[in-house]
Structure 1
Amino acid sequence: MKWPKQITPGYVAQMIRAEKNVGKALGIFNSAIGEYPNGFKHNEDTFGLMIGRLAAAGQFIEAESLLIKMTIEKVRCPEDIFVTMCRAYGKAHRPFEALRTFHRMKDFECKPTVKSYAVIFAILVRENHLKLAFKFYDHMKKVGIGLNIYTYNILLKALCQKPSTLDRAIKVFREMPEKGFVPDAFSYNIIIDGLCKNNRVAEAAELVKEMDGRSCAPDVVTYSTLIHGVSSLGNVDGALELLQHMLANNVSPNVVTYTSVMTALCNAGRSLEALEFLRQMKSKGEKPNMHSFTTLIHGFCMEGKIQDAQNIFDQMKLRGWKPDAPLYGKLIAGLCAESRSEDAASLLDEMALNDVVPNRATKHIHENMHNVVVQGLCKEGGRQNKAFQVYLNMVNSGICPSFETLNLMVDRFCKRGDVDKVDRILRDILANGFLPNSFTWAAIVRAFWKKGNVRETAFLLQDELTHQIL
């Protein structure tokens, strides 16, 4: 790139910020020195900016190399650069790398303050390394790091993670004023959330009332948390009452609030009322999320309102959201329950097109879906060929048919006299380690016997089956 005759660190920093591509930004950083080998040196600002860009992009090796370069060029490395690195490692779910970076500060003659300690403490808590987090907290106190409201809130969050330490969190919360720290809205919300998650909703509600009488009034997070807690106990009317109280206090609900109310209504078999809240959410300019739609789909399926569920399902896809296997499974089960197995089979095809494939977590869901569809098609008149097609697709995808599915298919194709398909299914039965029962075997023999020219094959299959049994 072309540089002016004179450049300053401020100008280089401006150029780095303007470049959206981090690789090109690094090229600008390196080019500045190459153009002016005797006249330009990076300072802590340009180093810090580039290190931050690299760390945010997950290019930690490059960022670490710039840290080393700072020492070689004898550029002071301020605490903020290490804080930036630690936060980036935290966002990348690499807490031990963040801790390692924190401990390296002394190698750069940089003394950590409460700011660095708080960042590491928060990362360890967020990543659920609670034992290490408490050990780190004890170290903070030992080296004389003064606590502030932020570190107190991190401590509260850590203590609220487990039911066994929740009461200790409440004790710390109550002792905060004695230590010179008045709990803020974040402090209250952390305790309220911990109480709700442990079904101590009545205590959480008392804290919300307490907030009303203090300078930190309940906010949307407070109400949403309590509404979710009340809803989880099945108290729909209580959730609706809290929503009205929230509106009366001029606190606008967000998508989490609305979805919590919708979940409560759907669980209570009141999905049509939940649908009204979806419309209300849209009219208020609040964008529903995927959970809002899946909540309604589950609710309508539980009530047997499959067409309503399909309508919401289609709306969700129009928004560009990709349904997952459990959601497809819910809708497919509902369609099959209404003897609409062919529509359910179409959803299986859609899943394949959208690359919704089995994995370790969803394998059983895919097995259930395919078995339900094949059995449904077999039971619905005139759809046996479609059932066999779905069956072949599932086997080719590595999805195991159930013994019930295989037996049902044998029965249907035996009645049709389609011995070629019976032969294929029988071999799959044996390959899967199943043994047909006497009724299934009798149906097989009858099917082959009716075909006079394949009696010999029937006896051969009987010998094979006898061999498998023995």
Structure 2
Amino acid sequence: MGVKTLLKWSKQITPSKVEQLLRAERDLRKAKIIFDSASAEYSNGFRHDHTTFGVMISKLVSANEFRPAEEMLNRMKEEKCRVTEEIFLSICRGYGRVHLPLDAIRVFHKMNDFGCKPTDKSYISVFAILVEENQLKGLKPDAGLYGKVINGFCNIRKFQEAATYLDEMILGQISPNRVTWSLHVKLNNTVVQGLCTNGNLNRAFQLYLGMRTRGISIDAGTFDSLVKCFCKRGDLHKSVRIFDEMVLDGCVPDHGIWSAVVGGFWDRRKVREAFELIVVELMNEFVEHE
């Protein structure tokens, strides 16, 4: 099918039809002709939508024609066409591919101006570009940016990656302030619990120890996950250690944690240790209530 045939629009020209033709056309020059010929139908009531704009922008980016791609973004804004997050990210990734991370950041910062609120996916994508291009030292991301990225990984249940960025914060000596501290505490607890759920107990325990060292509050859910998972694995030494630290922190073990610890000892016929543990904890509670 030649270009001349492609330009013969029926009266029922629709964005979906234009999108279909654009996706099928591998030649960028011909794709531009298809797009422009559809634009010529504005006088007949046709309008490009985010799908046709998105495909055309993607093709321009693939050919490293970034200026026309960004000009098309501006055209979408002028025509009050919805600009999706994926359209912005296609340009950001394109700049990352040709090793222009600062341009990726520049486009990323435009999102709010276009009424497109960045989600966790955006922060993760742009952060990955910066890591790949070794640009983090120069840009000095703060705890707020790290928090958004880590939260994004938690939301998509990639807890190992989230833990890696928590480590990056420590290595980069990036500390949360009073505004971001509560989120930082929540994220640390979420990551530990997620690592436990995924069976990565050694990593979870390592992060737990780091939390204690840095004075990050450990919530009941984190203690619960660690104790039960280590009991299930048969590592009674760690489970009892965490249990003791839980009590020392003033966090009262619930029935589930008691059952897990005592059950762990019972399964290994260590009844004496289980009995002694119960007696010690009951004595502590008795002394505290006197």
- TM-score of the pair, normalised by structure 1: 0.37
Aligned to 2:192: 374
Contact 2:89 2:125 in 1 (8 A): no
Segments of structure 2 that go 5 or more residues without pairing to the other structure are 1-49, 51-72, 96-101
Aligned partners of 2:88 and 2:108 also within 8 Å: no
Higher relative contact order (CA 8 A, sep 6+): 2
Aligned-partner residue type, residue 343 of structure 1: E
Amino acid at match of 2:149: L
2:266 matches 1:457: no
Does the 8 Å contact 1:445/1:458 carry over to 2? Answer: yes
Q: Secondary structure at the match of 2:139?
A: coil
2:205 is aligned to 388
Give the Å deviation of 1:334: 1.8
How much is the aligned-residue C-alpha RMSD, in angstroms? 3.8
Give 1:313 deviation, angstroms: 4.6
What are the Cα deviations for residues 286-326 of structure 1, in whole angstroms up to 9, with x where unaligned? x7697864776995544x46763443453786161122222
1:421 corresponds to 2:235: no
> Aligned partners of 1:446 and 1:280: how far apart in 2?
55
Structure 1, residues 365-391: CA drift from partner, whole Å, max 9, x if none? 22112111111110113x111111111
Q: How far 1:436 sits from its partner (Å)?
A: 0.9
1:402 is matched with which residue? 219
Amino acid at match of 1:410: V
Task: Give the letter aligned to residue 278 of structure 2.
Answer: Q
Conservation of the 8 A alpha-carbon contact between 1:449 and 1:458? yes
Please show how residues 434-449 of structure 1 align to structure 2 within 5 Å: 434-449=251-266
- Counterpart for residue 351 of structure 1: 169
Match of 1:272 among 83, 86, 91: 86
Residues 1:386 and 1:269: Cα distance change in structure 2 (over 3 Å): farther
The amino acid of 1:328's aligned partner reads: Y
Amino acid at match of 1:459: F
Shift of 1:419: 0.8
Point out where structure 1 has 5 or more consecutive residues left out of the alignment.
Answer: 1-236, 238-257, 282-286
- Identity, in percent, stands at 33
Conserved 8 A contact 1:306-1:335: no
2:223–2:242 Cα contact (<8 Å) kept: yes
Q: In structure 2, give the amino acid aligned to 1:380.
A: N
1:314 aligned residue (131, 137, 149): 131
Alignment of 1:210-359 (within 5 A): 270-275=84-89, 293=108, 299=117, 301-302=119-120, 304=121, 308-314=125-131, 318=135, 320-359=138-177
Closer, same or farther in 2 for the Cα pair 1:301/1:437, shift >3 Å?
same
- Residue 467 (structure 1) aligns with: 283
Give the drift of 1:441. Answer: 0.6
TM-superposed CA distance for 1:450, in Å, is 2.4
8 Å Cα contact 1:332-1:369 kept in structure 2: yes
CA distance in 2, matches of 1:311, 1:289: 11
The whole-number CA distance in structure 1 between the counterparts of 2:140 and 2:130 is: 10
**1:142-182 per-position Cα deviation (integer Å, ceiling 9, x unaligned):** xxxxxxxxxxxxxxxxxxxxxxxxxxxxxxxxxxxxxxxxx
Cα drift, residue 358 of structure 1: 3.8
Q: How many residues are aligned here?
A: 201
Inter-CA distance 378–280: structure 2 relative to 1 (3 Å threshold): closer
CA contact (8 A) 1:378 1:384 kept: yes
| C-alpha deviation, 1:449, in angstroms | 1.9
TM score, norm. by length of structure 2: 0.58
Q: Kindly name which structure, 1 or 2, has the bigger radius of gyration based on alpha carbons.
A: 1
Residues 276 and 407 of structure 1: CA distance in aligned 2, closer, same or farther (over 3 Å): closer
The 3 A distance-change label for structure 1 pair 299 and 354 is farther
Contact residue 143 and residue 180 of structure 2 kept, 8 A: yes
Q: CA deviation at 1:398?
A: 1.1
Query: Do the aligned partners of 2:193 and 2:225 also contact (CA within 8 Å) in 1?
Result: yes
Are the equivalent residues in 2 in contact too, given 1:296–1:312 (CA < 8 A)? no
Contact 1:374/1:390, CA 8 A, preserved across alignment? yes
Amino acid at match of 2:236: V
Q: Which amino acid aligns with 1:270?
A: T
Does the CA contact (< 8 Å) of 1:300 and 1:306 recur in 2? yes
Q: Which amino acid aligns with 1:431?
A: L
